């Protein structure tokens, strides 16, 4: 099977063997590195939601540790992830958090270690402090993803480890992501600028937690008709191995501006208006 050029959407049970081997290999390494301190290893994102495309999707997971990591453990994990992140197929994107941080939720949420394509080179630059406390506004959304549609590959059941996420915290996480997308127009693949806001609006309008693919399908049916072609273009870029010419930055900016305005307006009308929301938006 030509994994790189596959246009099929996969889930965990159906994904090609090289993808499954990569995910399981990471788990084997984490079990060796953390030992009994590894409380759980949970898939979320496209691979858990049956819309994984090898040429565009990351392998998203969160590992939960019983206690804070030693500096050597952090370095060993980053070195390992860098060693397997050698091509454009299914790059890992992960965070490691502690049980204590989950039992005492705050926003933004603390984490022990994070790795993605955007942070890969930071660790080898010598400009990072391994012991400095760090926080991530995305974690609340990731926790919701795991609670809603995640897959436990090791450790305690999801609902025994990942607590119920307050709606206001989830909404605050989405708003932060929407503003980040607005700042990154022109710097990241345009499919993210379109598909993530579709998912966000599906949630705030109808309470649905959708994948990127499902969000696009919902958006074509429920958002203003003027955006239907743009959403279709983003879905094609997400699911096709072909190079798709992106829309202009003005078009993308107009869409994300619409999505932010609509989302915040609707969020302000719900019970989710709270100190997080009012303080920042």
Residue-level pLDDT at 117: 86
Mean pLDDT of 207-235: 96
Ordered domains of the chain (ranges, CATH):
17-165 (3.30.460.10), 168-280 (no CATH)
Phi, psi values for residue 121, rounded to 5°: -85, -15
pLDDT category at 281 given cuts 50, 70, 90 is very low
Residue-level pLDDT at 272: 45
Is cis: bond before 108, omega within 30 of 0? yes
State pLDDT tens for residues 259-279: 999 999 999 987 544 444 444
Tokens of 181: 């997308």
pLDDT category at 97 given cuts 50, 70, 90 is very high
Alpha-carbon distance 107 to 193, whole Å? 24
Alpha-carbon distance 195 to 151, whole Å? 22
Residue 217: pLDDT over 60? yes
Mean pLDDT of 83-98: 92
Better pLDDT: 87 or 211: 211
CB atoms < 10 A from the CB of 5, how many?
11
State pLDDT tens for residues 13-50: 999 999 999 999 999 999 999 999 999 999 999 999 99
Alpha-carbon distance 171 to 96, whole Å? 22
Q: Whole-prediction pTM value?
A: 0.92
Beta bridge partners of 154: 41
Residue-level pLDDT at 197: 98
Residue 12: pLDDT over 90? yes
Render the burial of 132-150: b for 16+ CB within 10 Å, e for the rest.
Answer: eeeebbbbbbbbbbbbebb
State pLDDT tens for residues 41-76: 999 999 999 999 998 999 999 999 999 999 999 999
Mean pLDDT of 101-127: 91
Residue-level pLDDT at 72: 96
Q: What is the DSSP string of 243-277?
A: --PPPPHHHHHHHHHHHHHHHHHHHHTSTT--HHH
Place of tokens 């709606």: 167
Tokens of 96: 């490691």
Q: What is the largest CA-CA distance in the chain?
A: 54
State pLDDT tens for residues 189-202: 999 999 999 999 99
Mean pLDDT of 214-243: 94
């Amino acid at each position: 099977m030509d994994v790189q050029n596959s246009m099929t959407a996969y889930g965990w049970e159906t994904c090609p063997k090289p993808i499954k081997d990569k995910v399981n290999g990471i788990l084997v390494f984490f079990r060796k590195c953390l030992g009994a301190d590894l409380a759980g290893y949970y898939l979320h994102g496209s691979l858990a939601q049956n819309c994984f495309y090898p040429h565009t999707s990351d392998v998203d997971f969160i590992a939960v540790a019983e206690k804070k990591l030693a500096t050597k453990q952090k370095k060993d994990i980053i070195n390992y992830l860098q060693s397997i992140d050698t091509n454009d197929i299914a790059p890992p994107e992960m965070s490691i958090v502690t049980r204590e941080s989950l039992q005492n939720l705050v926003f933004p949420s603390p984490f022990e270690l994070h790795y993605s394509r955007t942070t890969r080179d930071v660790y080898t630059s010598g400009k990072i402090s391994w012991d400095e406390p760090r926080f991530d506004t995305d974690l609340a959304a990731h926790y919701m993803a795991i609670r809603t549609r995640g897959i436990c590959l090791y450790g305690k059941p999801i609902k025994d480890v990942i607590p119920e996420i307050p709606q206001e915290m989830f909404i605050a996480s989405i708003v932060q992501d929407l503003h980040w997308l607005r700042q990154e127009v022109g710097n990241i693949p345009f499919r993210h600028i379109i598909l993530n806001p579709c998912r966000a609006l599906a949630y705030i309008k109808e309470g649905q937690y959708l994948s990127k693919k499902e969000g696009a399908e919902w958006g074509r049916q429920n958002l203003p008709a003027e955006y239907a072609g743009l959403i279709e273009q983003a879905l094609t870029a997400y699911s096709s191995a072909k190079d798709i010419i992106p829309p202009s930055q003005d078009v993308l900016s107009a869409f994300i501006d619409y999505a932010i305005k609509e989302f915040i307006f609707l969020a302000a009308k719900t019970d989710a208006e709270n100190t997080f929301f009012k303080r920042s938006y």
